Amino acid sequence: MERRKQLAALALATLLALACLSGALAAQGGNVKDGMDWYLNEEGALLITGSGEMPDYEKAEDVPWYGCREEIRWILLDGEITRVGNYAFAGCVNATHIVFPNTMASIGVRAFYQCNALATSKTVQVTHSDAERLPGDVNEDGVVDGRDTVRLMHWLADEINEATGAPFEINAENADVNADGEVNGLDLLRLVKYLAGEEAELE
């Protein structure tokens, strides 16, 4: 369950992080049902936020984001969602990461049909030194902004920097923004919410 919580945090964080970088939370979006909404930003991060069960759909074409399904790279389920509806993410062939909230209890029929690229992320332990640090400055450029969330997203996904041909690097102490001694999706979530004005501070 803890692993699922971390993945959920990563997904949500990633979505919001990319949203911060693009300057707006959503390039597309709408209502899923009463009390539940969806947002898809220009970087391909789909956020479903709300509570309760997602609706069941009779076919993939009935899903609100079906028309942009091939643009989706990250699926982030936030809040207190308890169930993924039938066919909810069917056909999201380019989605590489998904994050579930710890309230998730069930998944509907063919909810992830053809989602063959989905993967998980990692958790790394951190030992903090006495050196001065800037929480959230993941890429060490002296400021905390959307670029830090995107860098952390790439690092958590073990992606390769095309410019250098090497894995993305981070300042792990700065990335541990919730000061729990680990760097994982929960830190990405907090950083994204902080940049969106939803989190008061970074630790």
Tens of pLDDT, residue by residue over 49-84, are 889 999 999 999 999 999 999 999 888 887 789 999
Give yes or no: residues 37 and 64 share one domain: yes
Residue 11 pLDDT level (bands cut at 50, 70, 90)? low
- Look at the block and give the residue holding tokens 């949500």: 12
Give yes or no: residues 8 and 102 share one domain: yes
pLDDT reported for residue 10: 55
| pLDDT, tens digit, 9 for 90 and up, residues 146-195 | 788 778 878 887 888 888 999 999 999 999 998 999 988 778 767 876 77
Give yes or no: residues 46 and 133 share one domain: no
118 within some domain: no
**Last residue of a domain, which of 46, 76, 107?**
107
Residue 22 has pLDDT above 50, yes or no: no
Cα-only R_g, the chain: 17
Tokens of 77: 């389920």
Q: How many CB atoms lie within 10 A of CB 67?
A: 10
Give yes or no: residues 88 and 137 share one domain: no
Residue 20 has pLDDT above 60, yes or no: no
Residue 119 pLDDT level (bands cut at 50, 70, 90)? low
Q: Rounded to whole angstroms, what are the CA distances from 13 to 30, 56, 62, 137?
A: 19, 25, 27, 15
Q: How many CB atoms lie within 10 A of CB 141?
A: 12
